[in-house]
A and B are shown apart, each in its own frame.
Chain A
Amino acid sequence: MSNNGDVKLTAKDFSSDQDVRWCPGCGDYSILAQVQRSFPDMVGIKKENIVWISGIGCSSRFPYYMNTYGFHGIHGRAPAIATGVKVARPELSVWVATGDGDLLSIGGNHFIHACRKNVDLKVLLFNNKIYGLTKGQYSPTSEQGKVTKTTPFGSVDYPFNPVSLALGSESTFVARTIDSNPKHMQVVLKRAAEHKGLAFIEIFQNCVIYNDGAFDAISDKATRDDNVLILEHGQPMIFGKNHDKGIRLEGYSPVVVDISNGKYSANDLLVHNEFETSPVLSMMLAHMTDSPGFPTPMGVFRQILKPTYDEGIEVQINNVKAKKGEGNLEKVLFGGNTWEVQ
C-alpha cells in the first residue's frame, strides 16, 4: 500500500530539504525518524493531506523537517491553530508536535479544550521534563524539587501527569511511548493515525543538554524491564526482566505482586482493556507513573469512539442545509422587516 496510490513512499519522501538542527543525541531525532518511517505505512493518508502544526520550543521545529504541509505557530497555540485547520478541512490529517512547556503550560487551555471537543487531531507531546530552547528552566512536568536555573533551591510545585490530564479532559485516545524504543513508538503512532478523534501520545524524550538521563530507569537495558509495564490489550499486566511481576487489584488500589513463587499466577492479574468506556482503569494506570514501587505503563491507556467535533460541525451544516435549503444571499439581505421608499 502507499500514500499516493501507485508508488510506495519511503521515510526519505517525508524528509524535507532543511538541515535538522537539534543537539546531537537529542531524543527528537528518534521521534522524527519513527514518524518518517511509519508514515509510508499509514494506509489511506495521502502525503499532500498531511499537515504538521507546532507551537514554540525544540519540539516545535518538527514541521520544518517533514516534507508535508507544515505550520510553525506561536507558543502554546498549536492545538487552536490545528483546530481551525481541521474544522475547515476535515479531510486533512492534522498532527501537532509540541513539548511539555508548550502544551501543558502556556497552551494548557487549548489542549484541554481540543480534548474535550474531540477534534480529530494527533497530538504528540515531546516530554523531556525541562525547558530546552530557553536553556534549562523547570517545566510543568519536572519532578518536585528539581534544581534548575530558575529553581536553584529546588522547584516547589507539583508536576502535571500528562496522561491523567488528557484522560481527565476526555481525550478519546491516550497513549505513551519513549524515544528509546523505536518499534514501540511506531506501533503507537500507527494506532493514533488510525484513531478517529483526538489522539494524545506522551513521548518520553531525553534532553541531552539540560535533563540528560531523566528517563534512564525506564530506558536503560539493565533496568527498563523491571520498571516498565508494556500495556497490551487483553493481556494480563506482567512485567519484569523475568516476567515475574504483575499488577493486581486489591480493593480500589493496584498492587505489585510476585507471580514466580506460586502464590499468584497470571490469572490473578489485571487484564488490560483499552476499550473500557469507564475511565477508572486508564486513570489508575496513569497514576502508577512515578508512584514508588510501580512500573511506568507504556502503550495505549484508553481508546474510545465518539463523534468528532469537526465531523459534528459538518453534520450540522448539512442538516441546516437540508432544512432551510442552500443559502441564498439575496434572500438574507432582503429578509426581516423591510419597507419600500418610492
Chain B
Amino acid sequence: MAVKKKVESLSEVTVRFAGDSGDGMQLTGSQFSDTTALVGNDLSTLPDYPAEIRAPAGTIYGVSGFQLHFGSSDVHTPGDRPDVLVAMNPAAIKKNLSELKNGGIIIANTDSFDAKNLKLAKYETNPLEDGTLDGYSVFQVPVTTLTAKALENSALSQKEINRCKNFFALGMMYWLYDRPLDQTLVWISKKFQSKPEFIEANETALKAGYNFGEMTEAFTTRYRIEPARLPKGTYKSISGNEATALGMLTASVKSKLPAFLGSYPITPASEILQYFSNYKNFGVKTFQAEDEIAGITSAIGAAYAGYLGFTTTSGPGLALKTEAMGLAVMTELPLVVINVQRGGPSTGLPTKTEQADLLQAIYGRNGEAPIPVIAAATPSDCFNMAIEASRIAVKYMTPVILLTDGYLANGSEPWKIPHNDEIPAIEAKFVTETEGFQPYSRDENLARPWVKPGTPGLEHRIGGLEKANIKGTVSYDPDNHDLMIKLRAEKVRKVVNDIPKLEVDGDSTGKLLVAGWGGTYGAIKEAIIKVRRKGYNVSQVHFRYLNPFPGNTGEVVSSFKKVLVPEINLGQLATVLRSQFLIPVEQLNVVRGLPLRTADIADKIIELLGGENE
C-alpha cells in the first residue's frame, strides 16, 4: 500500500543535482529542465562542471553540478542557493553543502558513502551519521542498489546497470515535484534507438525511481509548482550557445547573405560551431580552422568575398584575434566576432563564467581601432544580439564584437519563439556600378561600398596599410591619416543613432540606479524585485550596447544620486562609465567564476540606501 502523501504548493524551488563527472548529472539536470519547461514553469539553469572531462571518480574536484531554478512566476536566475541538493556521492556533499539553504533538503545516494569515497571526499567520518547534516532534511536513498534491483532481469552488464542510476534519481525527483515522465521517455527512446536494451533499462530505472517516491515512507510530502503565467505563444527551452547559432543563421537568412563561420574549438564557445555546422542545408559554410587567428582571418576573407563572416571564441581566443580585428577595422569589412567570456586571465577557469573581457573588447587593439560592442543579457537574448551584431556589421561595414559568457552559453531558459516573418530583414547591398566607383567613398552612415570580387571593372586593392580617403590606395600622408582615424571613429559613434535608448525600470530619477551589462541581468533584476518588496526604491538599467552606449546614457546615469554597477570583474563597465560621463560610480565586484548572487546585490543596494526604505 502506498503511503498517503501530503501535497504542498510552492511558488519556486532551486534544485542542484551533483555527482561525479561520469554520473550523468548534466543529462539529469537538462532532462528535469526540459520537462519542467514543458509543464509550464518559468526556469533558469546553471550547469557547473569541471574542466576535466572525467576527473578521477569520487574526488571533490571531479564533482559536476547542474542547478535549476523554477517557479510559477518570473524566474530570472538559476537561484543563489539551492533548496534541494541531490548528492550522488560524499564529494558532492562536501563541495555543495555550504551553498545549500539552511534547513534545505538533501537526497543522498547512500550506496556511494563507503570508506573509499568518504576518504576521497576528505571526510573522516560519514556525514550522514556524524551530525554534519544536522539542521537539514536528509533523505537517505540507496539509489545504486535500488536501480540494480529494478534491473535484475536486464541483459546489461553490472557496469551498464550502474550507469542507469541517474535515471532512477531523476524519476524520484519527478515524483517529488509532480512532473510527468513522458518527455524523458520519448528522449530515451530516441537517444538509444539503435540499442533497445538500453531503452528498456533506462525506462525501467526512471519508472522505478518514480514509483519509489510513491511507495517509500521516507517521502511524506510532494510538491506542486503551478505553471508560470508567460505570454501566449510557442516556447522552447534554449541555451545561450544554441540561441547564438540560431541568431547567426537567422541573420544569414534575413540578409540573404550566405554565412561563413571560421572558428577554432575553445570552451565554452565550441558548441556554437557545433550547432552551426548542422545548418549546411542553408548553404552555411563552417571552417574549423588550424588556430584562432585562422578562424578570424578566414572569416575576413569570406567577408571580403561577399559572405556574412563570423568567428566565435572565448577570451584567450579573442586575444589572439586582436591583430586581425584591426585588419577588419582598416579594410572596413562586415564581420561578427563572438566572445563567450570565461574566467581569466590566461587559461583561467575555462568552464566558468566571467565578464572580464569588456575592456579588451572595447579597447584591446593596437592603434585607434574602434569596434561596436554589444552584449546579450539572457540565454535567449543571444539570439537577438547575434542578429543585431550582424545588422550593425553589414550596415556600417565594420567588425562588431558580441559578448556572451559561460553562464549564458550553458544556461537555458524558456524562449518564446519568434516567427520568421516577425523578424525584420537586414539590408545588404553590393556595388556593381563601375561609374564613379571609389573603394573608400562613404554613404550617409559613413559605410564604404562592399564589392564582390568577380565584379567586372571594379578590380581594386584593400589591405592593412592606411588608406587614402575615398580612393582607398595606400597613403602615408599625415593629414590623411588623421582624417581616416577620425572617420573610422565617427562611423562607430554613428551607430548610436541606430540602437534603442536605455529603458529605466523604475523611477527615472532617485537615490540609486543599478546599472549592469550582459549576463548579470537576471541576478540584478531578481535583487531589485527582492529589495522593492522590502520597500526600497531603486531603479535599474541594463546595457546591451556598450560601444557606443545608447544615446540617453549620460542623461540617465546623471539623474541618480548614486549609480551601482555590479559586475563579474573588477569594475570594467564602472571604469568606462566614469570616463565617458564623469560620474562617480559605486562598484560591486565578485569574481568567483559563477553568476552574481542575488543576495549580494540586494545587500549592497540596501547598504547604499543606508537602510532607508520608504
Q: List chain A positions with a Cβ less than 8 A from chain B.
A: 4, 16, 18, 46-49, 51, 53-54, 56, 63-64, 66-74, 77, 80-89, 91-92, 109-110, 113, 313, 316-317, 320-321, 323-327, 329-330, 332-334, 336-342
Contact = CB atoms under 8 A, between A and B. Distances in A.
A66 B463 CA distance: 14
A80 B461 contact: no
30 contacts: A18-B474, A48-B453, A48-B458, A49-B453, A69-B453, A69-B460, A69-B461, A74-B323, A81-B300, A82-B301, A84-B302, A85-B453, A87-B287, A88-B258, A88-B305, A89-B305, A89-B454, A92-B453, A113-B289, A317-B281, A317-B283, A317-B284, A325-B281, A327-B279, A333-B417, A334-B417, A337-B37, A339-B234, A340-B233, A341-B232
A106 to B, nearest CB: 10
Given A49-B454, A71-B461, A334 B234 contact: yes
B237 to A, nearest CB: 7
A67 B458 CA distance: 10
B297 interface: yes
B571 to A, nearest CB: 33
A7 to B, nearest CB: 13
Given A88-B260, A88-B302, A317 B293 contact: no
Nearest to A309: B287
A18 B287 CA distance: 35
Interface in B354-377: none
A317 B461 contact: no
Interface string B268-301: 0000000000011111110101110110011111
Nearest to A316: B280
A84 B297 contact: yes
A86 B285 CA distance: 11
B464 A73 contact: yes
A133 to B, nearest CB: 12
A77 B249 CA distance: 27
Given A110-B294, A321-B281, A85 B462 contact: no
B459 interface: yes
B298 A84 contact: yes
A332 B247 CA distance: 11
Given A89-B454, A110-B290, A326-B281, A72 B464 contact: yes
A68 B461 CA distance: 8
B136 interface: no
A4 B293 CA distance: 36
Contacts of B294: 77, 80, 83, 109-110, 113
Contacts of A316: 280
Contact of B301 (A48, A64, A81, A323): A81
A73 B327 contact: yes
A15 to B, nearest CB: 12
A14 to B, nearest CB: 10
Contacts of A86: 301
Interface of B: 34, 37-38, 40, 183, 230-237, 246, 249-250, 253, 258, 260, 262, 279-285, 287, 289-291, 293-294, 297-307, 309, 323-324, 326-327, 331, 416-420, 452-465, 473-474
A110 B262 CA distance: 13
A174 to B, nearest CB: 20
Contacts of A66: 461
B392 to A, nearest CB: 21
A333 B254 CA distance: 13
Given A88-B301, A339-B37, A327 B283 contact: yes
Given A53-B301, A110-B297, 9 more contacts: A72-B461, A73-B464, A85-B305, A88-B301, A323-B281, A327-B253, A329-B250, A330-B419, A339-B38
A88 B306 contact: yes
B40 A341 contact: yes
Nearest to A321: B281
A116 B499 CA distance: 44
The residue in B231, B279, B304, B324 that gathers the most chain A C-beta atoms within 10 A of its C-beta is B304
A337 B187 CA distance: 10
Given A81-B300, A327-B282, A332-B249, A337 B305 contact: no
A110 to B, nearest CB: 6
Contacts of A16: 461
Nearest to B290: A113
Contact of B324 (A18, A74, A313, A324): A74
A62 B268 CA distance: 40
Contacts of B37: 337, 339
A340 B40 CA distance: 9
Contact of B306 (A89, A313, A317): A89
B417 A338 contact: yes
A84 B309 contact: yes
Most buried by B among A66, A85, A334: A85
Given A74-B297, A85-B301, A333 B235 contact: no
A77 B311 CA distance: 15
B246 A337 contact: no
Given A83-B287, A320-B280, A341 B455 contact: no
A41 to B, nearest CB: 19
A113 B298 CA distance: 13
B558 to A, nearest CB: 40
Contacts of A85: 301-302, 304-305, 453
Given A72-B462, A83-B301, A330 B327 contact: no
Contact of A329 (B232, B307, B420): B420
Contacts of A84: 260, 262, 287, 297-305, 309
A69 B461 CA distance: 6
A63 B417 contact: no
B235 A77 contact: no
A330 B249 CA distance: 11
A4 B459 CA distance: 14
